[in-house]
Structures are given as C-alpha cells and as structure tokens.
C-alpha cells in the first residue's frame, strides 16, 4: 500500500464513532478481500476490538461468523467492545425498498438503531448503491469506498478530502469465494428440532396421514403441521420465494 499512515488516519476518523461505510465495485474488483483487510488492520491497529461478518472465513478465530439478524443482535450487544461487522452481498439481502421483501424491510429498519446502541461499525459490500434509502441517509453513512480494481480504492467522505489508495495488499484473512454470504432474519432450526421435523416431513411426503403420524410417531397433528410449515418456510427462504396472501 502506498501510504499506510494515510490509511490508518482515515480509518481512525471513521471508526471513532458508530458508522456505516459502503464498499462498492464491479464484479472481481476485490470488495470482499479489501473489506476483510480493513477489518484485519482495524484489529491490528487497535481501532476496533471485535470483527464479525456473514462471510465464511474457515472458522478464523479473528472473525465471528454471523449469518442472521438474531445472531447479529446478540453479537452486537454481548459486550461493550468496539466492533466492526462486514455485511457482504448487501444488494442481495438489502435491495431497494420497491423490491424488498418484508424480511429485508424488517432487517433494514432494525439494523441501524441496533448498530448505534451497540458501538458498532459496519461495511456494506455491494455492486451498486441501489439499496434501501434508509442506509444512504447522511446521518448514518460516513463514507463510500469504491474499488476500481483489485489493488485500487477511491474513498469519499464528508469527514475528509477524497483519497485514492493504490497497491492494496491482499487480506491475510482467507475466505471461501464459492460460498454465498447468507443472512437471514429468522434463526436456523436447531439440529434436534430439525431431526424430528424431517421425520414428520418425510412421513407426509410418503403419503402418511396426520392421524398415522399421531399413532405411529406419537406426534400430535397440530405439532406435525407446525413441523411441515417449518420445512416449507426454510425451503421458500432458501429459494428466495416470497409467499403473498391474495
């Protein structure tokens, strides 16, 4: 990196208070890698004390893997440490309001207040800034970083003059490039609960009636129906299918 001192000074100004930063750039410009580099340097320089992300980093002890809003809330409020969360695939999870599902609206409206109360800083990685307008409010948005290549980043903010950094190094934090950065509003089903849920769902797929499930599996019909609904909900969320009542 051409000027590590300037990079440090920029992050010191931005991370002084809770803030939101956008990391923009086309495909294969290294947005995720540079975001993790910022997290690594923030820890190394003592500007943050805790780093989390919905990016899978091979269980790296320096990065807490957080992939749901419930887990993020607990992660933010677990302690009073200064923390940075890197939210990858923001365009996928938090698109513009017109195309947002109810899930994404809830996440967006809850996320900003939680961030401020919990001494949090967050980097949103996205191809464009076509996300919910709440996230672009100048009250929260402190800087926009734009990757023009893997090694070059332009930085704009109302807190400092425009900066351009070249020869950015690779982040020492490795991540799975083939694994989608997921983020869910609801918590995942626990394994023990999933096991029973799968058994009930399998019985229904095989054509078993709810009375058969009650008699043979000792599961009340209403409980069995809840298990089936959980499986359907998980499938719809995984496939990004939104069910609308008409």
Q: What is the pLDDT of residues 43-92, one digit of tens each?
A: 999 999 999 999 999 989 999 999 888 788 889 888 889 999 999 986 66
Which residues make Cβ contacts (< 8 Å) with residue 83, sequence separation at least 6? Answer: 48, 49, 50, 51, 52, 75, 76, 118, 119, 120, 121
**Do residue 221 and residue 106 come from a single domain?**
no
**Do residue 160 and residue 210 come from a single domain?**
no
**Do residue 197 and residue 148 come from a single domain?**
no
Pair of tokens at residue 190? 């626990």
In a domain, 186, yes or no: no
**Do residue 10 and residue 93 come from a single domain?**
yes
pLDDT tens by residue, 130-152: 655 666 666 778 999 999 999 99
**Do residue 48 and residue 126 come from a single domain?**
yes
pTM: 0.71
In a domain, 174, yes or no: no
**Do residue 25 and residue 100 come from a single domain?**
yes
What residue numbers bound the domain in which 28 lies?
Answer: 4-165
Read off the CATH number of the domain in which 17 is found: 3.40.50.300
């Amino acid at each position: 990196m051409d000027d590590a001192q300037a990079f440090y000074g920029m992050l010191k100004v931005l991370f002084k208070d809770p803030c939101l930063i956008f990391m923009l750039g086309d495909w294969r410009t290294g947005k995720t890698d540079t975001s993790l580099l910022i997290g690594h340097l923030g820890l190394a320089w003592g500007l943050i004390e805790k780093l989390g992300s919905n990016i899978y980093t091979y269980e790296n002890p320096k990065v807490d893997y957080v992939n749901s809003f419930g887990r993020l809330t607990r992660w933010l409020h677990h302690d009073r440490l200064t923390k940075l969360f890197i939210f990858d695939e923001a365009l996928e999870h938090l698109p513009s309001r017109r195309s947002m599902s109810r899930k994404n609206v809830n996440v967006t409206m809850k996320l900003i207040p939680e961030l401020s109360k919990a001494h949090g800083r967050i980097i949103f990685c996205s191809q464009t800034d076509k996300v919910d307008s709440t996230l672009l409010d100048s009250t929260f948005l402190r800087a926009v970083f734009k990757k023009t290549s893997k090694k070059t980043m332009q930085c704009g903010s109302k807190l400092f003059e425009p900066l351009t950094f070249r020869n950015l190094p690779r982040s020492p934090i490795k991540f799975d490039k083939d694994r989608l950065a997921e983020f869910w509003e609801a918590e995942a089903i626990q394994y023990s609960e999933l096991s029973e849920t799968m058994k009930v769902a399998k019985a229904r797929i095989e054509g078993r009636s709810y009375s058969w499930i009650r008699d043979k599996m000792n599961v009340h019909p209403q409980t069995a129906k809840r298990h089936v609904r959980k499986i359907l909900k998980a499938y719809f969320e995984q496939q990004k299918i939104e069910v609308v009542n008409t």
